[in-house]
Structure 1
């Protein structure tokens, strides 16, 4: 995947540009727009998941300059249907978390694992939601991360799973950032929207995304106004979602920095 550098400065005044996530581009990108920042301690390991009944890829990323991340809060990352945790390094997630810290945000680490294509819900003996709720925090605690301060983000199917996780386990996450969540009016996330009361929720969706109407409807169903998010030019791809990550990480840093 070709790496791109964030365009700012001279491009900021260019006619026809769009501002997304605090940066400015000539047009909505088709490929991820990755910050010009180094990855820190970024690892892709394999762990045995009893909840899923298989070995899964387990990804972690610590911002550059923060060593092994000991003592830092955790942002769980739930992938969509077309990616897995093994794709996270190529998507530049480790660079995004460094960029967040370099922009002055309190640091946090990323953690995620492969959850299959089950929308992060249990299916028979395969329970990726339990893996996220029980096993990933245990793996993170083993690394010395602060699992008393956890937030969650995800895109598409993972956005749905992130919202459902917060609803299913009240008090487990401090914030939710959902990019183009694959929600449908009347589904579990809609019917349980009230369970998100008190949880800061960020919602983003591209105006060229077929899910836009449902995401807007979900925003109206939330028990309080969304804490962050926007509807800007973009489609259902990581090119658009990458432009949302800086603002989402701002939200997560602000919420998880509180002791």
Structure 2
């Protein structure tokens, strides 16, 4: 296997792109993978809607469970500060941060989704913990989501009691583990390429998948995604299959995820 450093060394760049493609761009440092991809022209650019942003904020909040973290919020264009709007909470993947959501174009996806028919909503997300979205000694992102995030959203005037949950990659895995222990927290769940394989503890009989029996949930994972086997195993193990369950060509990339995001948000917010 080629090292990450090898991605930047001479002829190793091409091999590095192939290696990164095998495990998914999400699992390698985003600045490196995007720079190499643009330089070599091997992959298309992720699509981002050509629509305006609304009100976007990145604020630091102090979490009792995680310490200082960033809180991102995005209101669709034309809806002011978002007062009274319901919330879609997004859990990011391993190479992302809440402060980087704007660079990914997420505020424009909010506007595009509303223009495509979604009821107006606010997109909100925070940073994760040292092990992603699962608890470890000294850091509990699940407790932050449960005990603190609704209060922060309420303080900013949003309708924090109406909320849905979306996660991609490691955030998709974290969203699944969160609803296993807090099944009543979201009104609906959207998982983009959750980072799990068949046999993961999240799929065990006693893991809490019964939460998916009544919770509206959807699953999106490309046919070339390295976590496709885990997505199929999750769909088969859940007491109620995902609806929608979207596959199609694509890997563990923003190219695939961005192409699905507007339709996903329209579906997800229809449950709020």
Give the TM-score, by structure 1 length.
0.84
Query: Deviations 1:31-88 (Å, cap 9, x if unpaired)?
Result: 3211111110111111111111x21111000111111111111111100111111110
Runs of 4+ in 1 over 4 A off after TM superposition: none
Answering whether residue 82 of structure 2 is matched by residue 66 of structure 1, we say no
Which is helix-richer, 1 or 2?
2
RMSD: 1.5
Corresponding pairs, count: 228
SS in 2 for 1:161: helix
Query: Deviations 1:109-148 (Å, cap 9, x if unpaired)?
Result: 1110110341311111111111122211111000111111
Contact 1:39 1:95 in 2 (8 A): yes
User: For 2:58 and 2:264, how far apart are their aligned partners in 1?
Assistant: 23
Choose 230-239 or 83-92, whichever is displaced more: 230-239
User: For 2:138 and 2:228, how far apart are their aligned partners in 1?
Assistant: 33
Query: Deviations 1:143-194 (Å, cap 9, x if unpaired)?
Result: 1111111111011100011111112112110111111001233334212222
Which is strand-richer, 1 or 2?
1
SS in 2 for 1:178: strand
Gap runs ≥5 in structure 2: 1-41
**CA distance 1:161–1:30, change in 2 (3 Å):** farther
Residue 89 (structure 1) shift? 0.2
SS in 2 for 1:145: coil
Contact 2:116 2:266 in 1 (8 A): no
Task: Look up the match of 1:40.
Answer: 54
Residue 30 (structure 1) shift? 4.2
Give the one of 47, 63, 70 matched to 1:49.
63
Task: Look up the match of 2:30.
Answer: none
User: For 1:116 and 1:86, how far apart are their aligned partners in 2?
Assistant: 15
User: For 1:29 and 1:229, how far apart are their aligned partners in 2?
Assistant: 25
User: For 2:119 and 2:85, how far apart are their aligned partners in 1?
Assistant: 9
SS in 2 for 1:59: strand
**CA distance 1:155–1:30, change in 2 (3 Å):** farther
User: For 1:165 and 1:219, how far apart are their aligned partners in 2?
Assistant: 17
Q: Equivalent residues in 2 for 1:1-259 (5 A)?
A: 30-52=44-66, 54-191=67-204, 192-256=208-272
Contact 2:46 2:254 in 1 (8 A): yes
User: For 2:43 and 2:119, how far apart are their aligned partners in 1?
Assistant: 28
Q: Report which of the two structures shows the higher radius of gyration computed on alpha carbons.
A: 2
